[in-house]
Chains A and B, each alone.
Chain A
Amino acid sequence: MSRKIVRIAVPVLVLLFLYVPILILALYSFTDATQIGAIRSFTLKNYVTLFSTEELRSMIVGTILLALGAALLATILGTLGAIGSFYSRKRTSSAIATVNQIPVINADVVTGFSLCILLVVVFGVSKDSYIPLVVGHVTLCAPFVYLSVIPKLKQMDSSLYEAAMDLGATPAQALFRVVIPQILGGMVSGFSLAVTLSLDDYFIATYTKPATFDTISTYVVNATRGSQTDIKTALWALSTLIFVLVIVIVGVMNFNSGRAQKKEAEKA
C-alpha cells in the first residue's frame, strides 16, 4: 500500500515543482499585480502591453525569424552533410562525425565566445551585419540536424538510389525523388530541434548579436536587471503564451503519433 502511495506521490511532487512556478506566473499574468502576493483585480493589461509595445513586438518577431532562418539553413547544411558523409569513405565520414560532435558537447558559452573571437576580433566582421549571430545559431543547430538525418540514411535501402540511376534518373532527380523522401522524417525532426535550440539560446546570441537586437532570452535577462515593472509583467504574459503554445504543439504531436501508431497496428 505505502509503495503505491510513493509511486504516485514522487512523480506528482516533481510535476508540482516543475509546473507550479509557471502556473502561478500564468495566473498573475492576468492581474495587475507587479509581484506575486495579493491579487487585487484581474486585467488583460499585460497582454495589451505585450502586443502594443514596439520593443517587445520586434524582439519576439526577431527571435522567431532568427530561429526559422537559422533552422532552415541548418537543415539544408546538416542534411547535405549527412548524405555526403554517409556515402564517403570511412575516414572522411568519421572525421565529419567527430567534428560534428564538438558543438553538441561543447558549452554554449565557449562556442559563442570562440565564434565571436574568430569572426569579430580576427576577421573584423561587424556584429551589426547579423552574420556572426546567424552563423552562431547555424553552428548550434546543424550538428543536431546531421544527427537526426544519419539514422534515416542507415535505415534506407541502399539499392534504391542505384536503382533510380539505373532507370535513367540524374543524380539530382535520384536525390530529390528517392533519397529526400526517405529521410524527410529525420529532416523534419532535425528542423524542429533546431528551432527549439535557437529559441532557447542565450549564450551564443549574447556574444554574437548586434547591440540593438535582442532575442527573447537576452531581452528577459536584461529586463530582470531593470526596474520597469510593466515590461516585467508583460513578460509573464509572454511566458504564459509560450507555455500554452508548447502544450498545443505537444498535444497535436501526440495525437498525430497516436493516430499513426493505431494505423500501423490496424495494418499489422
Chain B
Amino acid sequence: MRFSRKTLGIPYAVFLLLFVVAPLLVLFYYAFTNGKGEFTLQNLTDFFTDPNTLGTLAYSLAIAAVTTAVCLLIAYPVAYILATSKLKAKSVIIMIFVMPMWINFSLRITALKEILTLVEGNLARYPFLNSVIGMTYDFLPFMILPIYNTIVKLDGSLTEAARDLGANDRMAFLRVTLPLSLPGIISGISMVFLPAMTNYVVLDMLYNSTYIMGSLISSYFAAFNWHGGSMIALVLLGIICLFTLLSDSGDEKTARTGGALL
C-alpha cells in the first residue's frame, strides 16, 4: 500500500470540517435568519434589548466571576504550599487533589447537595451562595492543577537570588514567584470562568431556578427555537473568543483533564 504520511491527516481534516467548522457556520446562519429563512438582525437586537436575557448575561458573569475568585483564593495557597514543600511524595498528594475530577460531576454534585441540605435545611434559601459553592466544588481541581504545574517548574534559585539581594520573604513572593506563576493563574481562570457561565446543571441540581447563559440555550432548545438559541450560542462564542485572546491560551489543554498527570 502506497501513501504519503500527509494523506493520513485527511480523514481528521474532513472530520473537523464537518463536525467543528460546519456546525459553527450553521450557528451563524440560524442566528441571523428568521423562521422563513430571511436575513434578520432581530435575534441580535432581541438579545441586547430584552432585560431578561441581559439579566441572565449579568447573572452568569456574576456567578462566574465570584466562582473564579473563590477558586483562585483557595487554589493558589494550596498549589503554592504543595509546589514549594520539600515532601518527596508531592506528586502523589497533588494527585489526591485532582482525583475528584475523574468522578462523574453529577454524582459529586449529588453528594454536595445532600450535605448542603443537611446544613441549610432548605436549599432554596441561598441560591446564589449554593451555586457558587457547587461550582467551586466542581471546578476547584481545574484551578489547582495549572497553578501547581507552573510553580513547581519555577527555578528555586530565583527566589534565593531575590533574598540574597535583600528581599524579605514577602517581597520575594510578590516580586518573583507571583508574577512568574501568572501563566498558571490565567490558564486556571479560563478553565473555571467559562464553565461557570454555562454549567446550568449545577444550578438545576442545587435548586437555583435563575437562568445562566447555558440554561438560556437549553430553554430555547426545549422550545425548538433554533434561531434564538443560536444567537445565545454566538454570544457565548464571542465571550469565549474574547477570553482566549486575552489569556493567549497556553496549556489549558492539559489542565482540563489532568492530562499532565496521566
Q: Which residues does A use to contact B, with CB under 8 Å? A: 7, 10-11, 14-15, 17-22, 24-25, 28, 35-37, 77-78, 80-85, 87-88, 92, 96, 99-111, 113-118, 121-122, 135, 138-139, 142, 144, 146-148, 161, 170-172, 175, 189, 192-193, 196-197, 199-200, 202-203, 206-207, 216-217, 220-221, 224-225, 235-236, 238-239, 242-243, 246-247, 249-250, 253-254
Closest to B2 in A: A171
- In the assembled complex, the CB of A195 is this many whole angstroms from the nearest CB of chain B, namely 10
- In the assembled complex, the CB of A116 is this many whole angstroms from the nearest CB of chain B, namely 8
Is A14 touching B97 in the complex (CB atoms < 8 A)? yes
| Contact for A103 among B20, B77, B82, B194, CB less than 8 A | B20
Is B204 in the interface zone, CB < 8 Å from A? yes
- In the assembled complex, the CB of B93 is this many whole angstroms from the nearest CB of chain A, namely 8
Query: Which segment of B23-31, B158-166, B170-178 sits at the interface?
Result: B23-31
Is B262 in the interface zone, CB < 8 Å from A? yes
Q: Contacts A171-B1, A217-B105 known; A84 to B9 CB distance under 8 Å?
A: yes
Is A110 touching B19 in the complex (CB atoms < 8 A)? no
Is B10 in the interface zone, CB < 8 Å from A? yes
Q: Whole-angstrom distance between the alpha carbons of A121 and B20 in the complex?
A: 16
- In the assembled complex, the CB of B208 is this many whole angstroms from the nearest CB of chain A, namely 13
Q: Report A-chain residues with C-beta under 8 Å of the C-beta of B12.
A: 77-78, 80-82, 84-85, 96, 142, 146
Is A171 touching B104 in the complex (CB atoms < 8 A)? no
| Contact for A11 among B10, B81, B111, B117, CB less than 8 A | B81
* Chain B 79-101 per-residue mask, 1 if CB under 8 angstroms from chain A, else 0: 00110010000001101110111
Q: Whole-angstrom distance between the alpha carbons of A213 and B256 in the complex?
A: 27
Q: Contacts A83-B5, A99-B16, A171-B3 known; A144 to B253 CB distance under 8 Å?
A: yes
* Chain B 31-67 per-residue mask, 1 if CB under 8 angstroms from chain A, else 0: 0000000000000000000000000000000000000
What are 27 A-B interface contacts by the 8 Å CB criterion? A14-B140, A15-B97, A19-B100, A21-B112, A24-B111, A80-B9, A80-B12, A81-B15, A82-B9, A84-B6, A84-B8, A84-B12, A85-B13, A96-B13, A99-B16, A102-B20, A105-B194, A107-B198, A114-B26, A118-B26, A121-B226, A170-B2, A171-B1, A199-B104, A203-B214, A216-B104, A221-B204
Besides A113-B27, A116-B221, A236-B110, 20 other A-B contacts (C-beta < 8 A): A11-B93, A18-B140, A19-B100, A80-B11, A81-B9, A81-B16, A84-B10, A107-B240, A114-B23, A117-B226, A117-B230, A118-B19, A118-B26, A139-B15, A171-B1, A171-B2, A171-B4, A216-B104, A216-B107, A224-B113
Q: Report A-chain residues with C-beta under 8 Å of the C-beta of B21.
A: 99
Closest to A170 in B: B1
Q: Whole-angstrom distance between the alpha carbons of A122 and B201 in the complex?
A: 27
Is A81 touching B11 in the complex (CB atoms < 8 A)? yes
Is B259 in the interface zone, CB < 8 Å from A? yes
Is A113 touching B217 in the complex (CB atoms < 8 A)? yes
Closest to B227 in A: A117
Q: Report A-chain residues with C-beta under 8 Å of the C-beta of B100.
A: 18-19, 22
Is B145 in the interface zone, CB < 8 Å from A? no
Is B217 touching A115 in the complex (CB atoms < 8 A)? no
Q: Whole-angstrom distance between the alpha carbons of A216 and B109 in the complex?
A: 13
Interface of B is mostly: helix
| Contact for B1 among A15, A81, A105, A172, CB less than 8 A | A172
Q: Whole-angstrom distance between the alpha carbons of A92 and B92 in the complex?
A: 40
Q: Report A-chain residues with C-beta under 8 Å of the C-beta of B221.
A: 113, 116, 207
Is A110 touching B233 in the complex (CB atoms < 8 A)? yes
Is A115 touching B115 in the complex (CB atoms < 8 A)? no
- In the assembled complex, the CB of A95 is this many whole angstroms from the nearest CB of chain B, namely 8
Q: Which 5 A-B residue pairings sit nearest by Cβ, starting from the closest? A: A84-B9, A81-B12, A114-B23, A21-B111, A220-B106
Q: Report A-chain residues with C-beta under 8 Å of the C-beta of B237.
A: 106, 110
Is A242 touching B201 in the complex (CB atoms < 8 A)? no
Q: Report B-chain residues with C-beta under 8 Å of the C-beta of A22.
A: 100, 103, 108, 111
| Contact for B103 among A92, A246, A253, CB less than 8 A | A246
Q: Report A-chain residues with C-beta under 8 Å of the C-beta of B19.
A: 115, 118, 135, 138-139
| Contact for B249 among A101, A109, A216, A250, CB less than 8 A | A101
Is A114 touching B105 in the complex (CB atoms < 8 A)? no
Q: Report A-chain residues with C-beta under 8 Å of the C-beta of B198.
A: 107-110, 203
Q: Report B-chain residues with C-beta under 8 Å of the C-beta of A193.
A: 257, 259, 262
Q: Report A-chain residues with C-beta under 8 Å of the C-beta of B74.
A: 14
- In the assembled complex, the CB of A255 is this many whole angstroms from the nearest CB of chain B, namely 10
Q: Report B-chain residues with C-beta under 8 Å of the C-beta of A102.
A: 20, 24
Is B194 touching A107 in the complex (CB atoms < 8 A)? yes
Closest to A104 in B: B253
Q: Contacts A84-B9, A100-B16, A221-B106 known; A114 to B233 CB distance under 8 Å?
A: yes
